[in-house]
Structure 1
Amino acid sequence: MKFCLIPLGLFLILCSGSLATAGDPEKGYRVIVDKPLISPYWDQETFDNTWRVWPKELKELAEKASPDQRRKLAYERYGLTPRPDNPDKPLQYVVSDDGDWTPNCFTCHGGEVAGQVIPGAPNHRYAMQTLADDIRIAKMLLGKQLLTSDYGSALVPLGGTNGTTNAVMFGVILMSFRDADLNVHRGAGFPPTKHHDMDAPPWWSFSAKDYLYCDAFAPKSSKGLMQFALARENGPEKFRRWQADFDHVYAYLQSLEAPKYPYEIDRPLAEQGRIAFEKTCAECHGKYETGEKYPSVVIDIAEIGTDPVRYEALSPAARKVYGDSWFNDYNRGVKSADDTPGYIAPHLAGVWASPPYLHNGSVPTLWHMLNPTERPTVWRRTNGDYDQQRGGLTVEEFSTMPAGVTRRDEKRTYFDTRKFGKSAAGHDYPDQLSPEEKRAVLEYLKTL
């Protein structure tokens, strides 16, 4: 079975590595946006005709629109943005001169925050499953041949909520069809899977970390960044040939810096917040003054109390398959579940620009992170505006899923924390702070 053409850009949260690599950051960016590493998923004609399979009201709007207006509607529906250096192309896909579209790493790691497209920001609008479904139907409408990726996206869940993806299981599936040298197994069985959604981490934290997976089991390396390219047509020789390219990609990730908060900051209040933060939060998340080192603290799953599904989903067997592979230099420093019994406290530089929060993206704002009992049961992003007061996405909040929401694409615009793997519970430490201290800490987080 060919389940290898799962969309690109999903496995940089599996990035491994702390070894320094020689590379050119600019060349690394060009590799991501210009070099297709797997076969294309669709052509320009297919994308331009997705509007024909949209829901009635949106389809009627597109039918009356100009081609440029339709493109904007499509970008909005699927969570795509123009490239900052080339607005004629989407940041999230490599589009060839012939009009072939191939997903790249920015599908999940290239987002828009406070009206600004930021390569490296989590793409909290990416509608991966909806895009895959619309492409499949559009191809059938146009009489085009379906590809392995089209069948795979119909069988393997890509993401239950826009902005999150089933990334961990993609990695487990792709690696299960390879031996340690990355040769394709003959007759390999489909591995056990526990499908769930993950929020992409911000890339500007890459340089601070030794282990990037949220349970800190895999060390950084340029090799580990290639996992997303495990299409069946890519054998061991290609990965070895591409290592120089990914030395450049590694250098690009290392070079990224957290974006600066673009709005006004109450500096005296932020200083009060720094004092409260260092008293309550810094032991795990670190201090952010010059010369301070990120502590990389892993918190036991029973103590932190956040959703355990991600922790449970990556089995010892799956860890071993990756750990023993060429991607990891044949077992260089991979940690077991006993060594990492929970989730790592994330690096918080640029935290204002990486909503939603927690590993599963269940908490829409920093205010909700600091006020655990106020986290919504169901929420929906309302527009692209940044919530300056609460620090995060502008959302509507609901006690349950609104009546009448029946279409699957519409359901994916809502985050329901009652669903499997989507709990917003846990990380109750901010309740040690007074309401005044919480307000000050929120202001301080804008400065990081």
Structure 2
Amino acid sequence: MKIRHSGKAGLWLLALALGGCGEYGGRSDGLQGGGSVAARSLEEHFSGKVQPQLDFCRTCHVPGAPGDVENGHDFMLAKDRSRDLDNLRASWERLGRNNPTSRILRMSSGQETPHSGGAPWPVGSAPYKNMEILLKCFENGAGCAALLAGGVDAGTLLPLLAEGHRGGHAWSRYCEGKDDAAALPVSPVALVKPGVNAGKAVYFNAYYKNCHVDAAPEDAAPRTCGDWRGRIERGGVIMKGNGVQGAAGNFIGNYPAAAVIPGFHLTADAYNNMWRSWGLSKRPENYDQLLAARWGVVLGPERNPYPLPGEDPNQTDGGSGQLPTAWTQLREADGRWSGKLASTCHACHSGQVGLPGEAGLPGAIYGTNSLSDIGVIGRDTLFAGYAIGPALTAFTQVRGLGNITNFQIFNAISALVTPANLLPYLLMQTSGGTGSEDPPVWWNYGHRPLKFFDGGMSSDAQRILVSAFTPLGAANPIPLNVNAAFEWIEQHDQDAAAWVLDRRSPKYPEPVDVPLAEQGAVLFHSKDLFALPANAGRERPKGGNGSCASCHGAYSPRFVHDPHYLETPELEGIAGYIVPRDLIGTDPRRVDGNDQEVSRTFEKDWFGYPEQRGTENDCGDQNLDRIRGDRENGYLAPPLYGVWATAPYFHNGSVPNAWEVLKSSDRKPIWRRVSAPNETGLDVVMGFDPSFRRAYDRQKLGWKYEEIPCGVGGAMPYLECDPSDPMKNPLLEQILSVIYANGGLAWNIPNLLQTPLTNAQVEERKIYNTRLYSQDNGGHTFTDALTDAERKAIIEYLKTL
């Protein structure tokens, strides 16, 4: 992200001041400095101790700025700082002088509300004391000299925007330039315990649990920078794939190709010939690119080879073809290439923002997606002989989404191998399906004490992170030996987690309007949305200051270092608030599906660390009644590093851009992202366009799309709707919703009947229909109270994170 200053300084310099105005609840001490020398005159006291703090007010209280409204005219400054003293005196007069305390002080300290700037000068703070002295001098010039001795050095305001790029795990930043022997500090998320940040502007109700108490050395947390680096390096081998020796594949761990049971891998020959099921007459020259587009997977910048038709992989260093990151070629124990291909985590967890040649764009990104169509991957690989294709197909109805963290499926392993768990598992299937979800980004993994959209597990619960690698498809020595498979997970989960935690969010690639972003920083951290008239009567969170930061965490240096926001700056960027289901109002199917029956079943599962059940660090389902206490279940507000690159938004990917997150009336019931242009002349399916230049909406912060009119027909009957009432679900959708809501695996099974067969059916899967089960785009409507100008400022600020 490059920062530029707007040429319209006179217009946007004020924008900065939404920092000192608007309905903001919260305080922003954010000062550096100390010591004090008494001023010799009123003018010296003003210029040295009062005027520097007025720059915070100037962002709003000048002509043309947000404070230039009817109820803000009594306190007005000017762009020209030389007139500040006269303007301040005039404002003091208009506001009733000292009566006995000036309204300037009462509003800026929170004694009188509403004040759009919140309480930047708490009672007793240096800015408050200095302004109080000045205003008393206005009233009693003769006694001013005695008052001046009480002046305090207010220090320097910390910046509103962070220098450089944050994000990434705190340990990775800490270890930059340090020796391997350097001891690691406590991980910031481990500080999020009950009682943390009580009474502060940022609210936590989701707490970290250490799932590795008394763990064996190979599974214990790293202690030094060397340990951390070693784990990241080993984890990268497991997680990245790319055909390296030791890379893992889904359901086969990192066992050599000779140990993989048929049906858990795809041969290179079968992969080379999948074009036959697309309806083509011959293999396209740009087959690798077209397959990646069709599947919505990424061709990464690193070599990831497979043998083309007629090639011997051991004579061509793996082959001349390029696999997407979603697949890797397996090696034999001696390092030879096998010509056998396995799927990886990146079918769901790698995406792309920007094309090669688009300067400043990250391109292929590990840890985000919203591009892939798992159903199409399952369809093609099933026809090519990959036995787990049907399972993949059953995970999704729409491109970019999946039923990924489905506990009803995870628990199946435990139910199959532990007879006592079988009956609870079967009873759990009466719980509703959790439906569609958009895979959460990996780079914020280290900034949340709990993980998954509903905060179901501690972020230290690493077993489930690599559950897709559980080597049940590997023989010699694991012919369906679950205990041995679990042992493999214990040996590798911490390394894999370290690599994921080390991911860093991408920088926004274009210059940012600094004054506007600074305005957004104050709005984001201080504006009490729930105090606005438009939200009157709405339930508000049980803690925090009602701002965006209250839920999503503090990022601005000025607020991160303000003790009214965080107990310690180490909590920067951490989001630990599970917003109650009805307060947030987004689609409830995920929360409802993972009900108490699911939670009780999962706590007995090996992936839920049953050995710590009932202890202080119980790592079972954190939404279980006995663990969560009086906290309501809901959705965990995500950290926002790299948020610009994570569209579409909400846990189910139902909103294509940040503007519509903040303004619900602009959301569309049926929409489709822009597809990449087809320049082949062939009847082939192209995926969503990842080009920043062509397909990214810079103003709304998300992906461009087209609204689909009601009544569009096609192979999928659930696309039909009544033009006179587009939100009325057709009978088929109503029936399916009832089935899905009353059966844990019901979501998956009917989807087998909807496997896309033709290109037309694959194209239909690009359409996002918000009337479908689990795909509602409602909720988060408390931000409707913002003005469009405020939304623009917040969006500009989000670009800096």
Q: Specify the TM-score bucket, using the shorter chain as the normaliser.
A: 0.7 to 0.9
With 185-194 and 427-436 compared, the bigger mean Cα shift is at 185-194
Is the counterpart of residue 409 in structure 1 residue 645 in structure 2?
no
- The match for 1:109 among 339, 346, 349 is 349
Is the counterpart of residue 35 in structure 1 residue 248 in structure 2?
yes
Name 1:210's counterpart in structure 2.
449
Say if 1:199 and 1:18 are closer, same or farther in 2 by CA, change over 3 A: farther
Report how far residue 419 of structure 1 moved. 0.6
Say if 1:214 and 1:418 are closer, same or farther in 2 by CA, change over 3 A: same
With 331-340 and 274-283 compared, the bigger mean Cα shift is at 331-340
Name 1:173's counterpart in structure 2.
409
Report how far residue 405 of structure 1 moved. 5.8
Q: Which structure 2 residues correspond to residues 4-403 of structure 1 after superposition, within 5 A?
A: 21-22=221-222, 23=228, 24-32=231-239, 33=241, 34-36=247-249, 37-38=251-252, 39=260, 40-54=264-278, 56=279, 59=280, 63=282, 65-66=284-285, 69-87=286-304, 88-96=322-330, 97-115=337-355, 116-139=362-385, 147=387, 149-153=388-392, 157-169=394-406, 171-178=407-414, 183=417, 185=419, 188=422, 192=429, 194=433, 196-220=435-459, 221-230=461-470, 232=472, 233=480, 235-278=482-525, 279=527, 280-290=547-557, 291=569, 292=572, 294-330=574-610, 331=613, 332-334=618-620, 335-336=622-623, 338=625, 339=628, 340-382=632-674, 383-385=689-691, 386-400=696-710, 402-403=712-713
Say if 1:187 and 1:100 are closer, same or farther in 2 by CA, change over 3 A: farther
Give yes or no for contact 1:93–1:104 (8 Å, CA) kept in 2: yes
Alignment partners' CA distance in 2, 1:80 and 1:168: 19
Say if 1:185 and 1:85 are closer, same or farther in 2 by CA, change over 3 A: farther
Alignment partners' CA distance in 1, 2:293 and 2:446: 31
Q: Which amino acid aligns with 1:369?
A: V
Report how far residue 153 of structure 1 moved. 4.5
Say if 1:138 and 1:31 are closer, same or farther in 2 by CA, change over 3 A: closer
Q: Which amino acid aligns with 2:602?
A: Y
Alignment partners' CA distance in 1, 2:399 and 2:209: 29
Alignment partners' CA distance in 1, 2:711 and 2:450: 37
Alignment partners' CA distance in 1, 2:703 and 2:763: 18
Give yes or no for contact 1:28–1:248 (8 Å, CA) kept in 2: yes
Report how far residue 26 of structure 1 moved. 2.1
Report how far residue 401 of structure 1 moved. 5.7
Q: Which amino acid aligns with 1:438?
A: R
Give yes or no for contact 1:21–1:222 (8 Å, CA) kept in 2: no
Alignment partners' CA distance in 1, 2:585 and 2:457: 23
Alignment partners' CA distance in 2, 1:103 and 1:17: 31
SS at structure 2 position matched to 1:251: helix
Give yes or no for contact 1:52–1:138 (8 Å, CA) kept in 2: no
Say if 1:320 and 1:103 are closer, same or farther in 2 by CA, change over 3 A: farther
Give yes or no for contact 2:643–2:799 (8 Å, CA) kept in 1: yes
Report how far residue 336 of structure 1 moved. 2.8
Give yes or no for contact 1:162–1:413 (8 Å, CA) kept in 2: yes
Alignment partners' CA distance in 2, 1:312 and 1:136: 32
TM-score by length of 2: 0.49
In proportion to residue count, which structure has more strand? 1
With 25-34 and 115-124 compared, the bigger mean Cα shift is at 115-124
Cα deviation, 1:201-249, whole Å, max 9, x if unaligned, reads 0001111111111111211232232322346435122322332322111
Alignment partners' CA distance in 2, 1:392 and 1:26: 33
What is the number of residues matched between the two proteins? Answer: 414
Q: Which amino acid aligns with 1:211?
A: L
Q: Which amino acid aligns with 2:248?
A: K
Q: Which amino acid aligns with 1:93?
A: W
What is the alpha-carbon root mean square deviation over aligned residues? 2.5
Alignment partners' CA distance in 1, 2:793 and 2:446: 28
Alignment partners' CA distance in 2, 1:201 and 1:250: 15
TM-score by length of 1: 0.85
Alignment partners' CA distance in 1, 2:482 and 2:404: 22
Say if 1:348 and 1:223 are closer, same or farther in 2 by CA, change over 3 A: same
Cα deviation, 1:95-146, whole Å, max 9, x if unaligned, reads 223232222222211110133334433211111001111222244xxxxxx6
SS at structure 2 position matched to 1:343: strand
Say if 1:175 and 1:72 are closer, same or farther in 2 by CA, change over 3 A: same
Cα deviation, 1:336-377, whole Å, max 9, x if unaligned, reads 355341111111111111111000011111122122111111
| Structure 2: runs of 5+ lacking an equivalent | 1-207, 212-219, 223-227, 242-246, 253-259, 305-321, 331-336, 356-361, 473-479, 528-546, 558-568, 675-688, 717-759
Alignment partners' CA distance in 2, 1:41 and 1:315: 35
Name 1:434's counterpart in structure 2.
787
SS at structure 2 position matched to 1:349: coil
Alignment partners' CA distance in 1, 2:382 and 2:697: 35
Q: Which has the higher contact order (CA 8 A, sep 6+)?
A: 1
Q: Which amino acid aligns with 1:387?
A: D
Alignment partners' CA distance in 1, 2:624 and 2:587: 16
Cα deviation, 1:147-198, whole Å, max 9, x if unaligned, reads 2x134446xx2211111101133x322313415xx94659947551515111
With 268-277 and 36-45 compared, the bigger mean Cα shift is at 36-45
Name 1:9's counterpart in structure 2.
none
Give yes or no for contact 1:81–1:117 (8 Å, CA) kept in 2: no
Give yes or no for contact 2:584–2:779 (8 Å, CA) kept in 1: yes
Say if 1:231 and 1:311 are closer, same or farther in 2 by CA, change over 3 A: farther
Alignment partners' CA distance in 2, 1:178 and 1:255: 30
Give yes or no for contact 2:289–2:299 (8 Å, CA) kept in 1: no
With 70-79 and 97-106 compared, the bigger mean Cα shift is at 97-106
> Percent identity, aligned pairs only?
27
Report how far residue 283 of structure 1 moved. 0.9
SS at structure 1 position matched to 2:297: coil
Alignment partners' CA distance in 2, 1:117 and 1:92: 15
Name 1:11's counterpart in structure 2.
none
Say if 1:151 and 1:384 are closer, same or farther in 2 by CA, change over 3 A: closer
Alignment partners' CA distance in 2, 1:186 and 1:100: 38
Give yes or no for contact 2:348–2:369 (8 Å, CA) kept in 1: yes
Alignment partners' CA distance in 2, 1:422 and 1:108: 18
Alignment partners' CA distance in 2, 1:185 and 1:324: 12
Report how far residue 387 of structure 1 moved. 2.1
Q: Which amino acid aligns with 2:495?
A: H
* Higher Cα radius of gyration: 2
Report how far residue 424 of structure 1 moved. 0.5
SS at structure 1 position matched to 2:328: strand
With 321-330 and 24-33 compared, the bigger mean Cα shift is at 321-330
Alignment partners' CA distance in 1, 2:464 and 2:770: 31
Alignment partners' CA distance in 2, 1:114 and 1:443: 19
Alignment partners' CA distance in 2, 1:153 and 1:83: 22
